[in-house]
Amino acid sequence: MSSTLFRTKKVEQSILDTEEPEHALKKSLSALDLTVFGVGVIIGTGIFVLTGTVAKNNAGPSVALAFAAAGVVCALAALCYAEFASTVPVAGSAYTFSYASLGELPAWIIGWDLVLEFALGTAVVAVGWSGYIQSLMDNAGWELPAALGSREGADGFGFDILAAALVLVLTAILVLGMKLSARITSLVVAIKVTVVLVVIIAGAFFVKGENYDPFIPKAQDVPPGESLQAPLIQLIFGWAPSNFGVMGIFTAASVVFFAFIGFDVVATAAEETRNPQRDMPRGILGSLVICTALYVAVSIVVTGMQHYSELSVDAPLADAFKATGHPWYAGFISFGAAVGLTTVCMILLLGQTRVFFAMSRDGLLPRFFSRVHPRFRTPHRPTILLGVVIAILAGFTPLNELAALVNIGTLFAFVVVAIGVLILRRTRPDLHRAFRTPWVPFIPILSVCASLWLMLNLPAETWIRFGIWMAAGFLVYFLYGRTHSLLGKRSETSVDDALKPPPNGETP
């Protein structure tokens, strides 16, 4: 039984499956498109919100170092993703990579994990987008009925109509084609990056040197936590993380990591890239470098404009300009945040549909969902199904408490991909690798350790919820996926053919 659970799908077979007309996606993306996708999904609520939270509560002005540390963790994973995406240019990202290196059950586990990560991420961002839009509507004197507004903190029945509508509109765009999605994303990303550059350039004129003193505030111990909201590492080892000080920078890095979630979504579009061997590494690494530089610059400017102890938690960038007597910038930033979140939502939805499509094509989910649209060459069936489900989820559910599941799901994927690089290097050294992760095994091992460290800093309650979702995934796999696996059926056919007697009684 264990041999069937860990059977691997050859890279050559994965690539061959992408050439079947009914299951083939249209190749239309370039390195620039991929970079734009990466920037579009990374720059979101993180840069507009988390900067103030971690500066005020964890790191002070040294929040810039926390963003840099989180960026390094992602860079380690990105090097591993780049090798896999250029070697196995197939939809599915970490799921497909795991199938080629670790086996079917680990691949199912990571695919199930990614479905949760992208679904919750899409819903959370849609709700955040709705909040920004309602804030802008309030400024204009418009107000939605309470029953159709945001569900955050709402009492009684309510449905966030804006969040649901956003998901449905983006679903339709994704069905119509990747190139259309790329063009819309490019436009929105241009607006979003312009807003970020305005913050950096305009804010630099209002920086005061005394606001950086002290750059690394004196360390303060966090009171021991007894609830499941305490970090897992604290409950296991009795070690309490510090706010501020050098250790406060690493505590802050665990928080701001949420701001980097999404660069791995670029890998899910490998099959729709014209030259994946060349363009996937450029898209993954390029988008990460650009966003890390913008994050560090914004955090330096904002903590220089206003003392970290006075920063707003809800809207630090906008409120920092208000504090310096320039309220016009606040409205401009809010508009940029609202526009920018649309691309985050769309690209997360894109990532989920491609993982679902890849699992369906392998038979681990119903094959009904693996047929592409005859005209648009997009996986329209899973896109519509998941779009409707997430629209309902975003409309009815306040998701703040579940957002941490997105973090743990992403970090878990990082761990699996890094291990997969090590295994595939040993089992398939013959494969052509257009991009090779440098300093193997040092970089993959360091990526695993860094990701596990951040996972241990997440609340124990998040680990429990993650465990429940994984347990449900095991159940689905053993009840459906294992018996319907296309790889398993091919293996059985090969065995049956080998056992057949030779024709005309000839000796084989």
pLDDT tens sequence across 277-322: 889 899 989 999 999 999 999 999 999 999 998 888 767 887 888 8
pLDDT at 90: 86
Mean pLDDT of 399-418: 76
> Stretch 155-179: mean pLDDT, rounded?
82
The model's pLDDT over 11-56, given as tens digits with 9 standing for 90+, comes to: 888 888 887 777 778 888 888 888 888 888 888 766 776 788 788 8
The pLDDT, as a whole number, for residue 495 is 47
3-state DSSP assignment of residue 317: helix
Instruction: Tell me the three-class secondary structure of 342-360, residue by residue.
Output: HHHHHHHHHHHHHHHHHHH
Q: Quick check: 455 pLDDT over 70?
A: yes
Res 222: pLDDT: 55
Of the chain, the percentage scoring pLDDT greater than 70 comes to 85
- Where b means 16+ CB within 10 Å and e means fewer, 121-148 reads bbbbbbbbbbbbbbbeeeeeeeebeeee
Q: What is the pLDDT of residue 106?
A: 92
Q: Residue 431 region, left (φ>0) first, then alpha (ψ -120 to 50), else beta?
A: beta
pLDDT tier at 156, thresholds 50, 70, 90? very low
Mean pLDDT of the region 56-73: 90
Instruction: Say what the pLDDT of residue 29 is.
Output: 84
121-144 pLDDT per residue, tens: 888 788 878 877 877 777 677 877
CA 469, 472, 478, 482: dihedral to nearest 10 degrees?
Answer: -40
Question: Taking 60 as the threshold, does the pLDDT of residue 499 lie above it?
Answer: no
In the predicted model, is pLDDT for residue 479 greater than 90?
yes
For residue 345 the two structure tokens come to 């939502």
pLDDT of amino acid 253: 85
Helix (H) or strand (E) holding 277: helix 276-305
- Output the 3-class SS for 363-429: CCCCHHHHCCCCCCCCCHHHHHHHHHHHHHHHHHCCCHHHCHHHHHHHHHHHHHHHHHHHHHHHHCC
Omega within 30 of 0 (cis) for the link into 441:
yes
Q: Where are the alpha helices (DSSP H) in 43-88?
A: 45, 51-54, 63-87
Mean pLDDT of the chain: 83
Confidence of residue 64 (pLDDT cuts 50, 70, 90): very high
Max mean pLDDT among 90-94, 270-274, 439-443 falls in 439-443
Q: How confident is the model at residue 329 (pLDDT cuts 50, 70, 90)?
A: confident
pLDDT of res. 150: 56
pLDDT at 492: 66
Please indicate whether residue 155 or residue 431 has the higher confidence score (pLDDT): 431
Q: Name which of 370-379, 390-399, 445-454 the model is least confident about.
A: 390-399
- Grouping H, G, I as helix, E, B as strand and the rest as coil, residue 243 is strand
pLDDT in tens, 141-151: 787 776 666 54
In this structure, what token pair is assigned to residue 83? 């090798």
Residue-wise pLDDT tens digits, 347-379: 889 888 989 999 999 999 999 999 888 888 889
pLDDT above 70 (res 152): no
Residue 421 pLDDT grade (very low, low, confident, very high; cuts 50, 70, 90): very high
Task: Give the pLDDT band of residue 65 (cuts 50, 70, 90).
Answer: very high
Q: Bigger pLDDT: 446 or 234?
A: 446
Choice among 36-50, 222-236, 296-310, 395-409 with the minimum mean pLDDT: 222-236
Report how far residue 151's alpha carbon sits from residue 139's, in angstroms, rounded to the nearest whole number.
Answer: 20
Q: Name which of 69-78, 262-271, 282-291 the model is least confident about.
A: 262-271
pLDDT digits (tens, 9 = 90+) for 90-113: 877 889 989 999 999 999 999 999
Give Cβ neighbours of residue 487 (< 8 Å, ≥ 6 apart).
7, 9, 13, 104, 362, 363
